[in-house]
Amino acid sequence: MKILVTGGLGYIGSHVSVLLLEKGYEVIIVDNLDNSSISVLKGIKKITNLSPVFEKLDIRDYNQMKLFLSKHNDLSGVIHFAAHKSVSESVENPLKYYDNNVLGFINLYNLIKERKIPLIFSSSATVYGNADSVPIKEDAPIKEAFSPYGKTKQICEEIIRETTKSNLSTKSVVLRYFNPVGAHPSGLIGELPNGKPQNLIPFITQTLIGKINKLMVFGNDYPTEDGTCIRDYIDVMDLAEAHIKSLEFILEPKNDKNFEVINIGTGKGHSVFQIIKIFEKVTKKKLKYKVTGRRKGDVAVSYADCSKAKEILGWTSKLSIEESIASSWNWENNN
């Protein structure tokens, strides 16, 4: 089976591509290399001893995408990752996010809908905004997102929901994942931010090796035990496995459901200060950090109810936060 992975050289896309290849799928990757690197392709090949098809392509270019799909007219599924993902950057430059995350997705979705190709869509817990309670279930009210990034995911989800409702031959699974962390155990692929990191874990690893002077902790006055934000950190290897399970689910001929929304997380939350302590324990290094004001777009507490993933996909997370932090540190030291 041929699977198209958009953004397949990005952090999550690369790990999913590796697992697809290892499971025997034929993988076709498109990526514009805006927030990734061609070196990731070498890592994928080295891990798997296999070569996915790769084409540098921007999903916003409708004509090029149409031409590309006419060449690859026997796809069994599409896993869509190609999107900008920084909450803070989206606040500073919202138009960049609507242009890429929404318009780019509409281009892709129009083309695959015509061809009736099933879709796995990479969404985010940010769609829940400031949830009324935790753990967060899939049927929790969708509130106004705290950032343009979150809004782009809400918009794309709604496009998928309405399209599958009006066109029963269109099949889609939306995965709302929480905070991806960790790296491939080989140390050959991991999170590779261009420029200054926007996510907590690469910010910490780059601070520990001296690339960054100190970690900025955005707020210690949240209504949590230690005053810092709490998040559900899901290992990227577990996350990759969830995508494979979702693909198997959507391709199952007996499955008559054409739309599902599923949380992917661990069901546990860790605060920023807790993550710092675990890092210091794993690395045996002291981390320099400075508490500063709250960052616009952040919610206080977010962690998942993952019971639906277990029920529908037969999936649960396996790797601990300590294992995720150890693999992140291994990746940083190898690159």
Phi, psi of 186 (to 5 degrees): -70, -20
Which two three-digit tokens encode residue 237? 């290897």
Rounded Cα distance between 328 and 209, Å, is 12
Question: For residues 28-52, b (16+ Cβ closer than 10 Å) or e, as one string?
Answer: bbbbbeebbeeebbebbbebbeeeb
Q: Which residues pair with 218 in a beta bridge?
A: 292
How many CB atoms neighbour CB 171 within 10 A?
22
| Angle (nearest 5°) at CA 75 between 70 and 81 | 100
Taking alpha carbons only, the member of 51, 138, 187 closest to residue 313 is 138
Tell me the C-alpha distance between 205 and 287, whole Å. Answer: 9
CB 321 within 8 A of CB 238: no
**Whether residue 149 lies in the annotated active site:** yes
Residue 100: C-alpha distances to residues 7, 63, 82 (Å): 12, 16, 8
Of 238, 299, 230, which Cα lies nearest the Cα of 270?
230
Given 25, 109, 149, 222, the catalytic residue: 149
CB 206 within 8 A of CB 197: yes
Tokens linked to 184: 């491939």
- 237 to 16, 183, 206, 251: CA distances (angstroms): 8, 7, 21, 21
* Contact residues for 165 (Cβ-Cβ < 8 A; gap 6+): 259
Do residues 27 and 54 touch, judged by C-beta distance below 8 A?
A: no
Please give the positions annotated as active site.
149
